[in-house]
Homo-oligomer: A and B are copies of this chain.
């Protein structure tokens, strides 16, 4: 049982957790586009691969899967998710399962405006979103939305290029300076993160871990505390089933006066996943079971409340890199 972690980057914990779950049953292979992704050095073996946008990239990954007898592969970065999903059949042919959701769901999750349209059409509470700023200004005049709002790229991640705008002047200026922006209503409430595993064999939600976010840093959860609400578990299960996600996903939710709003879905291991793992929600084991053909049993909310997670910087030191 060998696992391939693509675009491992700085996600050393994910690599370490897979190694722990596999024990001596198999190896963890990791890739990165450069030798400066520290997580590759925690894997049993690593490959430096071309950027995902380069022609022939998928062939390089298929070669690695063949050579290393990879049974399951997953990526840790958004833009690669659709690419893998699109090519899932080619991987299947050589015995490699892509751990993730369908191409359509990956594409939708990456595009905040497409996600908004889906959520609205399916009657989920969410942040109002506008690609056309004039339409947004009309809503402001009507009084149906208020400043401040976020101005962000519809397809972006890691809080890059996100601005909070307090007036029309700022929204205009930002739109004049950059393409592909959208206006998003500012949700003022308790931010929640959910790490969810949807069994790849049965399609059922089998594990949910929820945490209140206490502090963010560079778009990632920096401090958080675990909590449980059966109503939230039901809400997440309904949403995930309706959308049709598979494997590991991470959902950003807001609690505003007791109502849950869906903010964003990352159909992959999110940067805050270590909190779930360290609280007992080992989704690596669930993946390995699925790859062995074993469905997982439903085990939702099997963790303690009040477990705090705080991130800090560890350093990876390497000499003699050929850069």
Interface pair B278/A36, CB less than 8 Å apart: no
A104 close to B (CB within 8 Å)? no
Interface pair B39/A312, CB less than 8 Å apart: yes
Interface pair A312/B310, CB less than 8 Å apart: no
B interface footprint on A192-223 (CB within 8 Å = 1, 0 otherwise): 00000000000000000000001101101011
CB nearest to A279 among chain B residues: B317
What's the least CB distance linking A56 to chain B, in Å?
27
Interface pair A217/B218, CB less than 8 Å apart: yes
Binds B, one of A6-14, A62-70, A250-258: A6-14
Q: Which of B13, B170, B304, B315 contacts A311 (CB 8 A)?
A: B315
Q: How far is A310 from B313 in the complex, measured between Cα atoms in Å?
A: 10
Q: How far is A13 from B177 in the complex, measured between Cα atoms in Å?
A: 40
- Note all chain B residues with C-beta closer than 8 A to A315: 13, 274-275, 278, 309-312
- Note all chain B residues with C-beta closer than 8 A to A278: 315, 317
B interface footprint on A259-276 (CB within 8 Å = 1, 0 otherwise): 000000000000100110
B interface footprint on A297-312 (CB within 8 Å = 1, 0 otherwise): 0000000101111111
A142 close to B (CB within 8 Å)? no
